[in-house]
Amino acid sequence: MEGSVIKIALVDDEVLFRKGISFLLQREENIEILFEASNGDELISNLNANEIKPDIVIMDLKMPVLNGVEATKIIRKIFPEIKIIALTSYETKSFITNMIQVGAVAYLIKNTTPKDLITTINEVAKKGFFYNENILKTIQDSIQSSKNSKISLESGFLSPREIEILQLICNQKTTAEIAEELFLSPRTVEGHRNNLLLKTESRNIAGLVVYAIQNEIAVLTL
């Protein structure tokens, strides 16, 4: 997706806020707003009705009819290639970890700066996920505070190469950057990444990151 136009869908029941975000993003040359929706139900209807799908959905959490959490669960099943960025006023650990567990690849608070929003969109388009320092800390804290979260890894469950690639993913490296660092082809890195998703039963790259922290394979860095 790097270098091409990033197609966006905006989902928020606050019309003024939604229109403000739309106005802000439309000024970016590499971003196109495909459509807007005021709740999860409208979003799903739009996705089913339109042949062209967004690359990224920017989603509020608390909305009438169908909220952002439930809408994210549905999208992860029906349209797994679409990335979800949560943009909400909720910043409690439970909301953040819940949204990440159901499949959000980034989480932003509504008092974030326009620059941070645009950076997050571009990073998600490039890498598949992006967490700022506050969200990284929340993920790590929530995992460390959960006594039963660590899953004991069988010896040899992940190969040394898979562990190496997983650690680089956690350092928010792109496929191309990992390939260059390990002297592999991007196709080979993608193959390892797909194996990691299957072995760890992760829905997406964000799930791999959570898995890596749970099993003390990696410490997240910006």
**pLDDT tens, 196-215?**
988 887 877 777 887 887 77
pLDDT of 10 higher than 80: yes
Burial grade of 174 (CB within 10 A; 0-12, 13-18, 19 or more): middle
Tell me what the mean pLDDT of segment 122-148 comes to: 77
Q: Report the mean per-residue pLDDT for the chain.
A: 86
What is the Cα–Cα distance from 139 to 123, expressed in whole angstroms?
18
Angle at 6 between CA 34 and CA 124, to 5 degrees: 120
pLDDT band at 221 (very low <50, low <70, confident <90, very high): low
pTM: 0.74
What confidence tens digit (pLDDT) does each residue in 77-105 have?
899 899 999 998 888 777 887 788 788 89
pLDDT of 152 higher than 90: no
What confidence tens digit (pLDDT) does each residue in 157-167 have?
888 899 899 98
Q: Please give the residue that has the higher pLDDT: either 138 or 27.
A: 27
Tell which residue, 56, 117, 58, 106, has the closest CA to residue 83: 56
Q: Please give the residue that has the higher pLDDT: either 145 or 153.
A: 145
pLDDT of 55 higher than 90: yes
pLDDT at 32: 96
Tell me what the mean pLDDT of segment 181-194 comes to: 92
Angle at 170 between CA 213 and CA 12, to 5 degrees: 90
pLDDT at 173: 86
pLDDT of 7 higher than 60: yes
pLDDT at 147: 45
pLDDT at 58: 97
CB 89 within 8 A of CB 107: no
Phi-psi region of 216 (alpha: psi -120 to 50; beta: other; left: phi over 0): left
